[in-house]
Structure 1
Amino acid sequence: MNGKNYLLIIAIDQYEHHPRLNNSVRDAEEVVDVLTTLYQFNADCVHRVINGEATEEGIDAKFVELIKTIEKEDNLIVYYSGHGYYREEVKEGYWVTVDGRMGKVTDYISNSNLIKYMHQIKAHHLFLMVDSCFSGALVEQIRGEGHGYAYPSRRVFTSGRIENVVDGPQGENSPFAKGVIDFLKGNMEEEVSATAMIADVSRTVRHLGKQQEPMEGRLRNSRDNGGEFYFRRKLSEEDLWNGALAKGEIEDLEEYIKVYPNGNFIADAREAIRRVRARKAWNVARRRNTLDDYEIFITHHGESEFANNARARIRQILNRQKEELEDRKKRAEHEEMVDECRMNYAAAYNKAITLLRKEKYRQAQVELRKCQHNYIPKHPNFIPTIEEIEKQIDICNRKLNFNSFLNLGKEAYRIRDYRTAITQLAQAHLLDAENQEVKRLLSAAKTAEESGRVVKIPDSKKRTNDPPPQKKQSTVEVVKGPEDRNKIVIKPSKKKVSPGVQHTGSRKKATVVLTTNTKKLEKNVNFDKKKVTVTSPSPSVKRKISDKEKREKRKVAILATIGMVLLYIFLCFLFGVF
């Protein structure tokens, strides 16, 4: 028969309402490990109900799943490890579920229900192993050795009778689980019967001196026909070694050593493990590709076949680190240069903005051109951007063009070339339509062009809120004269001032009269002072004389000259000169 071998483990350590156990889950997992490793049990045919899953509903769902899955040619081993309970009144045993309350049998799985599950499973061989207290209550009938694999069987093997059993110290196995695991690991036969295992485990538990007696039997009124289940090993020693060597995995090689500690290939297995570890360590170091990982590899596997490769990688990393250090240094220098350029760029831009506010457009344009041509091409990500620089340059150009048109218009108006004045002022007006001076000049030029006479332009500087004129200060040096102590000499501090000097007063005091081209100022000074400051108001602005007034003055001057000439001739005739 070529059916599958299924394995169901139900193990509970972490009970909610009962004392917690030490090794139930550990025991069950080790049974799974030895069966899937050494015997013909595949991992995909293993079912687990562990701790929190082992409620009454969870266990029931798993049995129902197996009832639907397992076929007649398949085999099933059920291994339970946990608390058991026995109710004396009804002579009934129970499996205690993880959430079962103390003494509430309605929360448990009864032996009666377990037997019903066993009857419904269609497996060829069904072997139930129970490691719990009072598990012997599940054994209904004891029989002898089976007749062979071809006959169906329904067999039960428990860790004790209707009694308490030992869980074992923390981190170890229970006596029952230890007997099962040791027997399966120690078996060197290609196949071994369940009967042989039951006998060996029973002897082991009794030898350990525990006050429990394992029991075995068969289920009554079931499909049992006295058959025998066999644990068949996966491979022989040579086959296991060849398979482990072909896979090249540490786990397979270690499993060979575990199964055949005195086998024929032990030395080869240890050497193969060393090579596999070196290869895996090399793969890890190569994947991480760091100096520390390669050095660790050399420390632990310096004699392996990959050691020279590791040393070469170390040299490459050191060279790369040196190059990266130089690159970082260059980048730092470049960033420093960029920062300096950014500072110069910001300074030039701020200077240009300041000049713009002062209406020094030509100088501002020079600074902005410097930003545009010296910095932006090399560093296009500088702020303000090239668009902002070009915008400010455009403002400068407009202002310069505006001033040029305005000055040309003024000059044309001054020489009475009104047509040219209108043209230039119109261009200025296009550049700055809100400028009041341009509006006044343009209006005056148009009026003069139409009327053919000079139009007086309103003075835009006269405003009621203008500040008073600032006083002008001139500093002169007062020096005692060498010949006459009552005379002083005043030397102007500026070449534009041409002072005249008068002296009044005694030897110690004098009055300084400073004559400029507009005012005559007096100030009392002492001879012991070296310098005196004379303050004068700014000269008043001369009123602009119109052409008509000039003509009238010229006419008066001509008439006065003619009158003087006629008077001279009359006097000459009068005194007989002629």
Structure 2
Amino acid sequence: MYKKVQILILLMTLIGHIGLAQTYSGRSNSVAVDYSTEKRGGEAKIATSEKEETIKEALRSSSEPTYHALIIGVSNYEYAGANLPNLDKPTKDAEELYSVLTTKYNFEPKNVTLLKDPDRATVIDTFHGLADIVTEKDNLMIFYAGHGYYDKPKDFGYWLPSDAKAESTANWIPNSTIKDYISAIPSKHTLLITDACFGGSIFKTRAVGGMSQMKVHELYKDRSRKAITSGSLTEVPDESFFVYMLIKTLDENEFDYLPASTVFSRIYEPVMNNAPTVPQFGVIQGAGDEGGDFIFIRRK
């Protein structure tokens, strides 16, 4: 009987060892499961660590560019009259564009100058200051809304600042002066957008086709001096559908990189269908364009 008890105890001990071995084996399996979980976690970590393409990588640029903007709206004229009436919309349009650029695109407020009803001296001084600040790695957008004038016999176009007089050109700003400043400012890309009467006189070449199909880095590689205008050599209305579509396009855009040529292609047909003017897009001749395009970069 004693021997039977010993055998029973021995068997129970062996079973206990086997159980421990199974338990250890189970723990070993648990470790394996835990390891596979860690592996999956590691894989997830690798996936999430794949950083989004940086701006430098997308543009294939050695540095991330700084974006500058000069936004001008002239609604109130010091010498307003029948031949030079005040306007309602330009300063409001300028404010809206400022808001879109500084909140939705890579335009830091400190690099954006908003001029409401400036006189000639203020505009010229601001251009002069930009020529000292903007570098060859920076980009510049210029916007003007207000009265303009085209002298057809002389083939001369003008912006009319707030101190302009209808009967004298002394304070008018010739398109040639604007072009000279655009040439002098050493930016990589400059885009001029004008919503003014006779704005199309700023250039002679039209419809730079096929640019929207190029890759972003290809467009960005070469310097550009482009202009988008609300109309050619005709008057434009105070209530500008052109500016409405410009701001709407920029505001609703969902692409990280938006070329100026694409902006134009999106606004061209709606403006043609709803306004008496024909918008224009082209090279500012003699200002240093090398075939590139201005790229709007959306904030992340």
Counterparts of residues 404-419 of structure 1 (less than 5 Å):
none
- Measured in 2, the distance between the counterparts of 1:44 and 1:204 equals 33
- Equivalent pair of 2:98/2:114 in contact (CA under 8 Å): no
- Equivalent pair of 1:139/1:215 in contact (CA under 8 Å): no
- Equivalent pair of 2:203/2:285 in contact (CA under 8 Å): no
SS at match of 1:106: coil
- Residue 220 in 1 paired to residue 285 in 2? yes
State the one-letter code of the partner of 1:226.
G
- 1:146-168 deviations in Å (ceiling 9; x for gaps): 45111110001100010011111
- Equivalent pair of 2:144/2:195 in contact (CA under 8 Å): yes
- Measured in 2, the distance between the counterparts of 1:181 and 1:49 equals 18
- Give the deviation of 1:129 after TM superposition: 0.1
- Equivalent pair of 2:180/2:287 in contact (CA under 8 Å): no
- Equivalent pair of 1:167/1:175 in contact (CA under 8 Å): no
Asked which structure has the greater CA Rg, the reply is 1
- Give the deviation of 1:112 after TM superposition: 0.9
**Structure 2 residue aligned with 1:231:** 296
- Measured in 2, the distance between the counterparts of 1:166 and 1:13 equals 13
Unmatched segments (≥5 aa) in structure 2: 1-60, 212-217
Counterparts of residues 28-47 of structure 1 (less than 5 Å):
28-47=94-113
Counterparts of residues 496-535 of structure 1 (less than 5 Å):
none
- 1:328-378 deviations in Å (ceiling 9; x for gaps): xxxxxxxxxxxxxxxxxxxxxxxxxxxxxxxxxxxxxxxxxxxxxxxxxxx
**Structure 2 residue aligned with 1:192:** 258
Higher helix share: 1
**Structure 1 residue aligned with 2:235:** 164
State the one-letter code of the partner of 1:34.
V
- Give the deviation of 1:119 after TM superposition: 0.6
- Give the deviation of 1:222 after TM superposition: 2.6
- Give the deviation of 1:137 after TM superposition: 0.9
**Structure 2 residue aligned with 1:5:** 67
Counterparts of residues 174-573 of structure 1 (less than 5 Å):
174-208=240-274, 210-235=275-300
State the one-letter code of the partner of 1:154.
R
- Measured in 1, the distance between the counterparts of 2:183 and 2:298 equals 28
2:123 aligned to which of 41, 44, 59: 59
Aligned CA distance change for structure 1 residues 47 and 145 (closer, same or farther; 3 Å): farther
- Give the deviation of 1:35 after TM superposition: 1.2
- Residue 135 in 1 paired to residue 199 in 2? yes
- 1:60-83 deviations in Å (ceiling 9; x for gaps): 100000000000000000000000
- Measured in 1, the distance between the counterparts of 2:153 and 2:273 equals 34
- Measured in 1, the distance between the counterparts of 2:113 and 2:165 equals 26
State the one-letter code of the partner of 1:214.
P
- Equivalent pair of 2:145/2:196 in contact (CA under 8 Å): yes
SS at match of 2:281: strand
**Structure 2 residue aligned with 1:151:** 222
RMSD: 1.2
State the one-letter code of the partner of 1:101.
K
Q: Percent identity?
A: 30
SS at match of 1:107: coil
- Measured in 1, the distance between the counterparts of 2:227 and 2:267 equals 14
- 1:75-124 deviations in Å (ceiling 9; x for gaps): 00000000001112201110011111113122200011111111100000
- Equivalent pair of 2:198/2:234 in contact (CA under 8 Å): yes
State the one-letter code of the partner of 2:95.
E
- Measured in 1, the distance between the counterparts of 2:222 and 2:135 equals 15
- Please report the TM-score for the alignment, with normalisation by the length of structure 1: 0.39
**Structure 2 residue aligned with 1:23:** 89
- Measured in 1, the distance between the counterparts of 2:276 and 2:194 equals 17
1:114 aligned to which of 155, 178, 185: 178
**Structure 2 residue aligned with 1:73:** 137
- Measured in 1, the distance between the counterparts of 2:67 and 2:164 equals 31
Q: Which has the higher contact order (CA 8 A, sep 6+)?
A: 2
Unmatched segments (≥5 aa) in structure 1: 169-173, 236-578
1:14 aligned to which of 76, 87, 99: 76
- Equivalent pair of 1:157/1:215 in contact (CA under 8 Å): yes
Aligned CA distance change for structure 1 residues 88 and 221 (closer, same or farther; 3 Å): closer
Q: After the TM superposition, which segments of 4 or more aligned residues of structure 1 sit over 3 Å from their partners?
A: none
- Measured in 1, the distance between the counterparts of 2:72 and 2:103 equals 20
SS at match of 1:160: coil
State the one-letter code of the partner of 1:221.
G
